[in-house]
Amino acid sequence: MNVAQKILSAHLVEGDPSVDRELGIKIDQTLTQDATGTMAYLQFESMGVDRIRNDLAVSYVDHNTVQIGFENADDHDFLASIARKYGIIYSKAGNGICHQLHLERYGKPGTTLLGSDSHTPTGGGIGQIAIGAGGIDIAVAMAGGAFHIPTPKIRAIRLVGSLRSGVSAKDVILKVLEKFGTKGNVGWIFEYTGPGVATLDVPSRATITNMGAELGVTTSVFPSDDVTRQFLAAQGREADFTEILPDADASYDDEFTVDLSALEPLAAAPHSPGNVVSVASIAGKRVNQIMIGSCTNSSYRDIRTVAKILEGRHVAPDTEVGIACGSRQVVLMLAADGSLATLIKAGCRILENACGFCIGAHMSPSTNAVSLRTNNRNFEGRSGTKSAQVYLVSPETAAASALTGVVTACVGVESVPAPEKFPIDDEMFLYRDTAGRGVPETQIVRGPNIAQVPRGIPLSNDLLGTAAIKVGDKITTDHIMPAGARLKFRSNVPEYSKYVFEPCDKTFHDRCLKNKEAGLVNVIIAGESYGQGSSREHAALCPMYLGVKAVIAKSIERIHRANLVNFGIVPFTFVDPSDYDSLQQGETLSLKGIRTAVEGNGEMTIHTASGDIKVKTTLSDRERHVILCGGLLASL
C-alpha cells in the first residue's frame, strides 16, 4: 500500500474502495477557523450533542482579527463560549494561523484531520490525511459522524535530487500546478514519494501540501519519516510520531517526477495559481508591494530565510514590504535570534500573525499595483484591489525583490537548519484542561452578529425557475461570496447574502429575492470548474437563502459541490456542454420532475424558450437523500 491507502484503510467506516464511488472515513481531529467556525458551531449546536465525540477539536481565530466594529469581537466571544462548553480547544486571536499552529502543536502522523478551511491539507506535510470541507461537515465529524470522499485515485509525485539555493518548496508546488493546473484534479490524492522527500523539512512539505488545495485535489500527503520524527521531537511531541512509509511495492494510479535539482524560481501570474511562469521571464518588473506570510509560507524556516536575505540592507524606497508570521512560536524565535530586529531595521512592516493580507482583510495594494505575495491564491480582486496584479512567489524571491524593488530571483542564501528545539508556549490555547469533556453549564455568548442558521426545505417535484445569473469558467468562491470587507458578516446569513456575486453582478441579491417572491426558484448557470478555491459553505448557504435550487455548470469543484448538496442545491452538469452557449441569463427554465430526476440520479430535460437542454446529476445515495430533504441539517 501507499501512504494514503494505509491511512484511509485504517479509517474506513463505509464503502469498499474497489467497488464504491464514495467512501466514509472516521475523522480523528477537526479544526475550524473563525470565518467558517461560527456557522459550523451553530450547526453543531443544532444537532443536540452534549460534547465533541471525536479525539480532538480546535477552534482557531485567525481570519477576522481586524475588529473594526463589534462583529468580529462578538464572533470571538461566541466561539470561546462554545469551545468551553463542548470540550473544544480555543486558540485566541494573536496565537497564529490555524494551519501553521495545527502543524506545530496538534498534527499527528497517521490520523485524519477535517477542517473548515480548504488549506487543511497543510497537515499532509506531517503525514496526516487532512481534508478541507464545509462547516456542516466538520459539525457532523465533531458529533462523531463519518466524512465522505470520492474514492480517490492516487498520483505519486516522485521527488528526485535536491533544491538549489534560492529555490524552495513554493517552487515545487508551482511546478506541480504548472503541470496539472487548477481544474480537472477532482477526486485525486497527490502523494509525495521518492528520494527527494528526505531533503525537505516538515514546514517545506507543509507548503507543498497546503497549496495542493489550488489543484482541486482531495488532499496531498507526505510520508512520516525521520524528518517528521525530528520535527515532532523538536516540538516536544515525539510521542505523537508514527512512521508511515509506502511499501516497497506500493502502486499508484499515475506518477509524475519532479527533479528538484533542475527547478528554477517560479511565480503564479495574475489571476490564477495555475498561471505559472518562470521568475526569469518577469524579472525586472517594477513591484509596488511585497507581502510575506500566510499559511503557505510563514514558518520559522521561511521568515528566517527572508531575514538572512535582508540582513544589513534596506528594502527599496518605493516598495512596501509587510511580514505576517504564522504563529507566536515563529515570532518568538525570530525575536530571540535577532531576525525580528533585522526585519524592522530593513524597513518591513511587521503585521499581526494572522491571515490578514491573504484574504484581503487589510494591506490592499494601490490601484494597478504589482504585488508579490507568498500566499496561495491570486484570484482577481482577492487582495481587495480589483486592478492589482498579484504574483505568487517564494519567500526567497519576495525578499530578493524587496531589496531591488523589481522582480528578482534570489541568487543564493544559506539554508536554515531545522531547529533542534522549538520554544513551547501553549498559553493562548484555552480550555486544554477540559478538552474532550467541556464545561456543560457554560452560557453561550450571542451578540447581535450571531444570527440563526437558515434551514432548507424539501425538494418539490415541479419547479419553475429562472436563470438568475450566467457566469463563465473558473468562478471562484471569492466571486460567489466575497471575503475581505464583507468577511465580518459570516455569522449573519441574511446580511451576508446581500453580497452574493457582488464582484460579478451587484444586482444579483435583489433579483433573486424578486424571483423568490414571484414563486420562481433561482438557477445559476456556470462554465468549467465552478466554485474553485475556498471551503466557505456560505457560497452555497447564502444562495440557498436567496432561493437558489440548482446550479447547472460544465463542471463543479469538489468542496463546493459537496457544499451545494449540504444546502439542498442540485449540482447539475450539462450533458452537452455546448448548451451552455444557448442558455441566456433571465431565461425561464421549467424544472418539471426535478425531484424524480434526483431520485433516479440520471438525466433530466429542462425546457427553455430557446429549446430543451439535457442536464445530469451523479449523486451517491447519501447525497440524494440529503438533497431531497432540503439539505444536511434537514436530513438529520
Q: Where are the alpha helices (DSSP H) in 467-507?
A: 477-480, 493-496
If the CB atoms of residues 361 and 632 are measured against ligand MIC, the closer one turns out to be 361
- Candidate list 534, 555, 566, 617; residue touching ligand MIC; CB under 6 A: 534
Grid cell digits, residue 300:
520559522
Q: Which cell numbers in the block locate residue 139?
A: 459539525
- Applying CB under 6 A, among 61, 176, 307, 355 the residue interacting with ligand SF4 is 355
563 is an interface residue for ligand MIC by CB under 6 A:
no
Q: Which window, 72-80, 134-142, 146-154, 352-360, contacts ligand SF4 (CB under 6 A)?
A: 352-360
Is residue 375 near ligand SF4 by the rule CB under 6 A? yes
| Stretch 344-383 residues interacting with ligand MIC (CB under 6 A) | 359
Residue 40, CA atoms < 13 Å, CB-side half-sphere: 34
d(CA 438, CA 142): 13
Tell me: does residue 210 bind ligand MIC (CB under 6 A). no
The radius of gyration computed from the CA coordinates of the chain, to the nearest angstrom, equals 23
Candidate segments 242-250, 355-363, 394-402, 511-519, binder of ligand SF4 by CB under 6 A: 355-363
Applying CB under 6 A, which part among 354-362, 445-453, 512-520, 558-566 lies near ligand SF4? 354-362
| Other beta carbons within 10 Å of 112 | 25
Q: 89-91 and 153-160 as β-strands: parallel, antiparallel, unpaired?
A: unpaired
Among 232, 282, 358, 613, binds ligand SF4 (CB under 6 A): 358
- Is residue 317 within 8 A of residue 343, CB to CB? The reply is no
Task: Note every long-range contact of 504-509, with CB atoms under 8 Å and residues 24 or more positions apart, other chains counting.
Answer: 504/469, 504/471, 504/475, 504/479, 505/469, 508/468, 508/469, 508/546, 509/546
Residues 108-127 as x/- pattern, contact with ligand SF4 by CB under 6 A: ---------x-x--------
Mask: binding to ligand MIC, 15-34, rule CB under 6 A, as x and -?
--------------------
Entry field: residues in the chain? 636
294 binds, among ligand MIC, ligand SF4, none (CB under 5 to 8 A by kind): ligand SF4
**Shortest Cβ distance from residue 375 to ligand SF4 (Å)?**
5
Q: Which does 97 bind (CB under 5 to 8 A by kind): ligand MIC, ligand SF4, none?
A: ligand SF4
| Per CB under 6 A, 323 contacts ligand SF4 | no
For ligand SF4, what does the binding mask look like between residues 522 and 551, x meaning CB under 6 A? ------------------------------
Instruction: Determine the 3-state secondary structure of 281 from DSSP.
Output: helix
Q: Is the sign of the CA dihedral 340, 343, 344, 349 positive or negative?
A: negative
Under the binding rule (CB under 6 A), the answer on residue 35 touching ligand MIC is yes
Residue 65 lies near ligand SF4 (rule: CB under 6 A): no
628 scored as a contact of ligand MIC (CB under 6 A):
no
- 36 part of the interface to ligand MIC, by CB under 6 A: yes
Question: Using CB distances below 5 to 8 A depending on partner kind, what does residue 71 bind out of ligand SF4, ligand MIC, none?
Answer: none
What's the min distance (Å) between Cβ of 63 and ligand SF4?
A: 6
Size of the site for ligand MIC (CB under 6 A): 13
Half-sphere CA count of 316, side-chain side, radius 13 A: 19
Q: What is the DSSP string of 70-120?
A: SHHHHHHHHHHHHHHHHT-EEE-TTSB-HHHHHHHHT--TT-EEEESSTTG
**Integer Cα distance of 124 and 629 in angstroms:** 34
End-to-end CA distance of the chain: 35
What's the closest the beta carbon of residue 35 comes to ligand MIC, in angstroms? 4
Q: Which amino acid is at 408?
A: T
Q: Binding to ligand SF4 by residue 208, rule CB under 6 A?
A: no
**Distances from the Cα of 31 to the Cαs of 56, 106, 427, in angstroms?**
8, 10, 18
Which residues does residue 60 pair with via DSSP β-bridges, in sequence order?
33, 91
- Positions in 291-310 near ligand SF4 (CB under 6 A): 294-295
State yes or no: residue 376 binds ligand SF4 (CB under 6 A): yes
Instruction: Name which of 534 and 555 has its Cβ closer to ligand MIC.
Output: 534
Instruction: Decide: residue 454, CB within 10 A, 0-12 exposed, 13-18 middle, 19+ buried.
Output: middle
Closer by beta carbon to ligand SF4, 58 or else 97: 97
Stretch in the footprint of ligand MIC (CB under 6 A) among 76-84, 343-351, 509-517, 530-538: 530-538
From the CB of 118, what's the least distance to ligand MIC, in Å? Answer: 4
Told to check if 117 binds ligand MIC by CB under 6 A, we report yes
Q: How big is the CA angle at 322 (ends 319 and 326), to the nearest 5 degrees?
A: 155
Which partner from the list ligand SF4, ligand MIC, none does 536 bind, CB cut-off 5 to 8 Å by kind?
ligand MIC
A 10 A CB-CB count for 129 gives 29
Residue 26, contacted partner among ligand SF4, ligand MIC, none, CB below 5-8 A by kind: none
Say if CB 371 and CB 389 are below 8 A apart. yes
Put the strands of the sheet holding 22-25 in their side by side order.
12-14, 22-25, 147-150
Q: Which residues bind ligand MIC (CB under 6 A)?
A: 35-36, 63, 117-119, 132, 359, 483, 533-536
* Chain residues that interact with ligand SF4, rule: CB under 6 A: 63, 97, 117, 119, 294-295, 355, 358-359, 375-376
